[in-house]
Amino acid sequence: MAYQTSIVPEVNVSANLELLEAEVLQLAPVERSHLLERLIASLDPDPEVEEAWEREADRREAELESGVIATVPGQEAIARLRARLPQ
């Protein structure tokens, strides 16, 4: 009997998670992006880590905007990385 009661909460969590996921997927992309940022931030509440990532993102954005670096299409980036891997 104890086995059955331990399964019920897991099924409930799974069903709740599926319902939540379906609702989130109905949000506009910008709203999903905002939610994603908040969820990720909730996983690592260390302010020093968050500040470091924010500085890194700002640095990369500035490099892109100034033309110091250029974007690379995803497929090309993957091809370059695969070419570096040992065969």
pTM beyond cutoff 0.75: no
d(CA 69, CA 60): 9
> 41-76 pLDDT, tens per residue?
788 678 888 899 899 999 999 999 999 999 999 999
Contact status, residue 27 vs residue 35, Cβ threshold 8 Å: yes
pLDDT higher than threshold 50 for residue 1: no
Residue 8, both tokens: 């019920």
> 27-46 pLDDT, tens per residue?
999 999 999 989 987 886 78
d(CA 71, CA 65): 10
For 12-21, give one letter per residue: b (16+ CB within 10 A) or e. Answer: eeeeeeeeee
